Amino acid sequence: MTDSIKSILDLSRLPKAELEHIPVERTVRLKPKAPGPLIPFAAWMTIPSPLTHNGMRVKVITDEDFTPKALVADFNIPSATVGQNAELGHSCYAANTIALDILKIFLAQSRVPRDSLDLLSVEDMQTGRVTITYLIPAPEGRHAQEIIDAIGHRFQQFFPTIKAKVGARARAKDTRYGGSIVGSKDSLTAYLHQRGWEIRTYSSPANTIEGDINDPVHQGRVAFARNVVRIELTLTAEELRKHGLQPAAAWRIAHAEGIYHRLFDDYVRNQALRLHERLRTDRPKHTDIIKLSENNRHIVQAT
């Protein structure tokens, strides 16, 4: 399931005269790195989804003459399509096609004719960032929160947090890498931040699922949410490029080629949880224990 996506639509197929009607939000850099005039650059706009009217972020990228050359859409797929993060089966390819349709509506509202809009396709799109959600049912007899807590502690064990810089040279956007757990006992979220990718693990709270509490279907959805661990894997453009998945069209056969399984195994199983490694240590032999000092022997025998 695709939760969020950042899609980039190339507008080079459209005539320049039609691009001039597209509204461009600009701002300036308040603290340029080098002395000189402030240079305007593209800024994010918030537009309503044509399906749910929830806000979505869109940016118009321009050339040196401020002529639009690309559109960037960055939004949550469930929020833009059904209004909430429900059981939704959108693939990354489907998410890009949704982004394409939404951007076409934005262009149509900017007086770009239909014939020109028909020239644009998924082949003109790139994936700048994507969040893939994996739903893992909790085994019988176990609670989802127990599993999330175990995953979080594993993150903390393998990936100690690297704190942001402090002092005069510190920047507000310094990234903190490592694992962490936040929340209470019944609402835990485990995070793992790495360069180029990150993982968020949680279970959807029952009170976020709308519906009639007396409806059996709603009750089933609540029970499903409580007993499912959600693992969200976010990949940046850099990581997508490594796997040849930056072109939107590359996701067309992702299910058939097992790409989603491969990404899960690579990032979640192998790099984050390290489930492929043998992390246990065999108990020392008695002949080795007697060679230790009294304090060290006590520590080994106590563990």
List the beta strands (DSSP E) in 185-290: 187-194, 197-202, 228-236
| Model pLDDT, residue 261 | 95
Q: Mean pLDDT throughout 37-66? A: 83
**What is the three-class DSSP state of 81?**
helix
pTM for this prediction: 0.80
Distances (CA, A) of 224 to 40, 86, 156, 201, 229: 49, 11, 28, 16, 10
| Model pLDDT, residue 174 | 52
- pLDDT band (50, 70, 90) for residue 280: low
- pLDDT band (50, 70, 90) for residue 216: confident
Give me the residue label for tokens 């695709």: 2
| Model pLDDT, residue 149 | 92
Q: Is the pLDDT of residue 209 over 80?
A: no
Q: Is the pLDDT of residue 155 over 90?
A: yes
Q: Name the residue ranges covered by the structural domains of the chain.
A: 2-302
| Model pLDDT, residue 7 | 95
Cβ proximity of 133 and 4 under 8 Å: no
Q: Is the pLDDT of residue 199 over 90?
A: yes
